[in-house]
Structure 1
Amino acid sequence: MIKPSPKIDIPGGMRKPLFLAALLFTFTYLFLFNFYQRRPSDVFSSYLTWPPSSPPQTSSISPTNLSHLVFGLVGSERAWRHRKAYIESWWRPNITRGFIFLDKAPGQDLLPWPESSPPYRISDDLSKFLGKSEWTAQRIIHGIMETFREDRDDENLRWLVMGDDDSIFFVDNMVEILRRYDHRKYYYIGGHSEFILSNYWYSFSQGFGGAGFILSYPLAKVLAGDMENCLDRYRSLKAADLNTMSCIADIGVSLTALDGIHQIDLRGDISGFLSAHPKFPLMSLHHFDMVDPIFPGKNRADATRHLMKAAATDQSRMLQQAVCHLRRNGWTFSISWGYSAQIYERIMPRSYLQYPIETFRTWNRSPRPPHYMFNTRRRSGDPCEAPHVFFYETIDGTSENQILTSFSRAWARGGIGSCVSGGNHSADSVSRIRVYSPAVKRFQIDRCECCDVVAEDGDRVDLVLRECNPDEIIA
């Protein structure tokens, strides 16, 4: 006969804690079981998703368009006389929204104010508030609040874009990129300086303002509301972009840096940089006053207008690099759409040509490399390394629903001979390259386009851009 187990007498005061402990153990077991049944990608997907998915589209939320952006440009009355050409090259009267904030009222020679320029405003006087006469840095960051103040009650406002009076924006590309972000969240979007020491001297965490930085509406609203406290907190700072970043960081938001936003902290001839753009839509350029005109034989204003004529045809491909080969001649072609074309007298892989030729100089003195935030190729007198250089001349549509861009030779390479190891086929006779591209926008950033050489006729070569084959190798 089996004896019954002895009865365990639990004191009344301990029954409730033991019951709760058993209940907690059960819930913990069930949670951990379900947790480990999930894939790691499910658990952490909200943190690892990149690039950000587009905001959910509902009947009440339309895709972002240009009317959802307002631009705040900060400049000086004196400089506006020669810098307005940069702004007017991309500004669309009665379409683009925003203002140019001047340090004082425009002189009589600037009046009547033209419709081709953004409407002007006079920056607020901050001298009494700050208790000092020099407040340029604070004026620039205060421009965020002044821009927001002009349109704060507009329900259509989603993004606030800040820039200088010489910032060149590619607004169609900007809109396309911003569609991938949820404007209802907190975003501070900008770009680094190309010059490593500029980032070191100021901050790797800031967006450089001349290149333009973009604030989502919720962030702009909070920053505008905290502006006086922000200026007071950092009244000792003399760098506007560092001041801006510091105030935004105190809100809990960090920089989202994009490759298409360019401060151009470079000097001299930047054609090498523009001929090997990162695989990302071009959003802005800056500091055109500080570099050589980007097209030979043109001044800075005309060169800017010439570039923007190509952009008006297809911004999505601006500066996007395509590489192809004419193997029977041992030639490699590198195309920077809407800007330049190059012929190399030997077969070269894209892995090498993706790096810009260092035609430019550092922004400031830099004692030792690295100087830049990207790799470069040094200039070379080797006929197998030095390209034949062509620049965009004309752009037109065709009857086959294509865009025809014509590039003309910039100068004779001369004096270095031809590349013997590449087959000794000189490209000196080529004076023009024509590039046909599809008349459809292309915003893909996962892979570049490929191209084919379809005609070679003495002094002219014709190329056609196309999608790369799935297994195509560009080498």
Structure 2
Amino acid sequence: MKKEGKPPLPKLLLSLFLFLLSLTSLFYTLKLATPSPCRDEPFPSTSRQLASSPPPSPQKTGIHHLVFGIAASAKLWDQRKNYIKLWFKPEESMRGVVWLDKEVPAAAGDAEGLPPIRISGDTSQFKYTNKQGHRSALRISRIVSETLRMGLADVRWFVMGDDDTVFVTENLVRVLNGYDHREYYYIGGVSESHLQNIYFSYGMAYGGGGFAISYGLAVALEGMQDRCMRRYPGLYGSDDRIQACMAELGVPLTRHLGFHQFDVYGNLFGLLAAHPVTPLVSLHHLDIVEPIFPNVTRLQALHRLALPTKLDSAALMQQSICYDKSRAWTVSVSWGYAVQVFRGTFSPREIEMPARTFLNWYKKTDYTAYAFNTRPVSRNPCQMPFVFYLSNARVDPGRTDSTVSEYVRHRGNRPHCKWKMASPEDVDYVVVEKRRDTNLWDRAPRRNCCRVKETTRKGRMVVDVGLCGEGEITEL
């Protein structure tokens, strides 16, 4: 038998290394299996991020978070200031500035109900080479930047508009609450004119209809706008200069159908009676179009609209479509504005299209000139709607969460209809009962439903408007 000697040195070191490795593994296994006592040391960064609660949501945007920059002209100020007084309410914490091209005489009472007036900064250092436009576009395009430099506190949004623009401020706040003011947002609407959008841009917010710029984007715009403006001396207006700078910043237009430029002429009835399913935010070019109610002035018409706006701004101009099946009538309610009653049954697809009661921006009847679908005004006297305009609105004394609005038939000259069927000319007025819904725009957009109710009173029609019930649809 061979006598064993001492193991070689390398084998001895290897055995020792394996032994120490086993002890280390056993130590960490026991450590992980034993609950550790509470410690004050911080968690690793990854664990801290997973364990911490999300940051608190910022307070909802209110009217006091907005600042309006209103582009005005000294030449038209005496007339246009009355539009601003319709919607601007300093007593409701609204903030804004009217930017004029030069000083205007102060009239008695102007300080009440109007924002403070400022004179726009000098723009003589900027070139303007557009032969069809006016240099005032330069100063107007800088209104957001100049308003930002005023250093007002707690501003989230800068809202641009003209002196002949009327805002529904409650709906504007509803819209802006859906966006984070700390991000870069440029929100507005395009023109109703297809050709206008081709000449300028479908990616441009039209300033007359109004647009909103988030605070974060306003800071970025102010930092580069003067340099940006020098690159575009040939542009026509202020809004295309804003959009050119937005393109350089890489910010697209967030379109909202409630901003209305109204690049049309004539009667807005067809547009307003078939308003899109979205909050009504603004109305523009009110000096150009006819009064929105017949037989009154423009200002009187807008004052009438203020009553339903105060009662239920979320529902203003929202269309509902239903049928009086016993008499084969189609009923369209534009809440707070008008009711239409048609002989016969028309599909919702047809009634939700605006009737062409207006002319396009180039004063032609060409329906291809619009950037949306329209339908012709019927020439058949039996298919012409009977129109009932808002005359009054109030809170229902029996239910304080509900409203009652009344609409009186417009008695214009009508051609004789030979159809042997019940005629809406026997109806003198329509009563619309509606429950207020402040959360209307917190849900997915959908038209309200309406139902024609039975009534024994002669010359009266009663319609109930509200959320659609389970399975309720507008069927012919």
Q: TM-score, normalised by structure 1?
A: 0.83
Return the alpha-carbon distance in structure 2 between the equivalents of residues 129 and 451 of structure 1: 56
Aligned equivalents of 2:444, 2:307: Cα separation in 1: 23
In structure 1, stretches of 5+ residues that fail to align are 1-55
What is the Cα deviation at residue 470 of structure 1? 3.0
Shift of 1:272: 1.1
Q: Which residue of 1 aligns with 2:449?
A: 450
- The verdict on how the C-alpha distance between 1:449 and 1:60 changes in structure 2, with shifts beyond 3 A counting, is closer
1:437: which partner in 2? 434
Structure 1 residue 197 corresponds to structure 2 residue 195 = yes
| Count of residue pairs the alignment pairs up | 414
Shift of 1:375: 1.3
Report the secondary structure of 2:149's partner residue.
helix
SS at match of 1:389: strand
1:251 corresponds to: 249
Using the TM superposition, give the Cα deviation of residue 418 of structure 1 relative to its aligned residue in structure 2, in angstroms: 5.4
C-alpha contact (below 8 Å) 1:194/1:263 kept by paired residues: yes
Alpha-carbon distance, 1:454 to partner: 1.6
8 Å contact from structure 1 (residues 57, 63) kept in 2: no
**Matched letter for residue 65 of structure 1:** G
Partner residue of 1:225?
Answer: 223
Determine helix, strand or coil for the equivalent of 2:430.
strand
Give CA-to-partner distance per residue, 1:100-143, whole Å, 9 cap, x none: 111111114x3563221111111112124548995211111111
Q: Tell me, what secondary structure is at the counterpart of 2:174?
A: helix
Which residue number corresponds to residue 390 of structure 1? 388
After superposing the two structures, state which structure 1 stretch, 62-71 or 444-453, moved more.
444-453
Alignment partner, residue 295 of structure 1: 293
Partner amino acid for 1:472? E
Partner of residue 10, structure 2: none
Is it true that 1:73 corresponds to 2:70 in the alignment? yes
Shift of 1:348: 2.0
Distance 1:468 1:233 in 2: 53
Kept in 1: contact 2:72–2:163 (CA 8 A): yes
**2:99 corresponding residue in structure 1:** 101
Relative distance call for 1:249 and 1:131 in structure 2 (3 A) is: closer
**Distance in 2 (alpha carbons) for counterparts of 1:178 and 1:377:** 32
- Give the Cα–Cα distance (whole angstroms) in 2 for the partners of residues 161 and 69 of structure 1: 7
CA contact (8 A) 1:74 1:100 kept: yes
The CA deviation string for residues 50-99 of structure 1, in whole angstroms up to 9 with x for no partner, is xxxxxx99536111111111100011122121111211111111411111
Structure 2: distance between partners of 1:309 and 1:213: 25
**Which deviations, in whole Å up to 9, do the C-alpha atoms of 1:398-444 show, x marking residues without a partner?**
12221011100112463232544xxx111111110010110332224
Task: Give the conservation status (yes or no) of the 8 Å contact 1:345–1:419.
Answer: no
d(CA) in 2 for partners of 1:77, 1:404? 42
How many angstroms does 1:471 deviate by? 2.2
Q: Are the structure 2 counterparts of residues 397 and 58 from structure 1 closer, same or farther at C-alpha, using a change threshold of 3 Å?
A: farther
Residue 33 of structure 2 is matched in structure 1 by none
Mapped contact 1:144–1:162 kept (Cα < 8 A): yes
What secondary structure does 1:236 align onto? coil
Q: CA deviation at 1:179?
A: 1.0
Equivalent residue in structure 2 for 1:177, among 175, 178, 200: 175
Letter of the structure 1 residue corresponding to residue 465 of structure 2: L
2:238 paired residue number: 240
Give me the whole-angstrom Cα distance separating, in 2, the residues matched to 1:275 and 1:418: 27
Q: Determine if the alignment matches structure 1 residue 427 to structure 2 residue 424.
A: yes
Question: Secondary structure of the residue that 1:347 maps to in structure 2?
Answer: coil
Give the conservation status (yes or no) of the 8 Å contact 1:279–1:445.
no
Runs (4+) off by over 6 Å: none
Deviation string, structure 1 residues 135-186 (Cα, Å, up to 9, x no partner): 211111111111111235x2x1111100100111111111111111111111
Partner in structure 1 of residue 6 of structure 2: none
Provide the C-alpha distance between the structure 1 equivalents of 2:54 and 2:306, rounded to a whole number of angstroms: 32
- 2:38 maps to none
With 462-471 and 184-193 compared, the bigger mean Cα shift is at 462-471
Q: Is the 8 A contact 2:188 2:256 kept in 1?
A: yes
Percentage identity across aligned positions?
36
- 1:355 — aligned with what? 353
Task: Give 1:293-442 correspondences, 5 Å limit.
Answer: 293-366=291-364, 368-398=366-396, 399-401=398-400, 402-412=402-412, 414-417=414-417, 419-420=419-420, 424-441=421-438, 442=440
Return the letter of the residue paired with 2:446. Answer: R
What's the offset of the Cα at 1:369? 4.2
Cα distance in structure 1, aligned partners of 2:56 and 2:124: 47
SS at match of 2:368: coil
TM-superposed deviation, 1:469: 2.4
Residues 186 and 136 of structure 1: CA distance in aligned 2, closer, same or farther (over 3 Å): same
List aligned pairs for 1:28-177, cutoff 5 A.
Answer: 58-59=55-56, 61-94=58-91, 95-108=93-106, 110-111=107-108, 113-130=110-127, 135-151=135-151, 154=153, 156-177=154-175
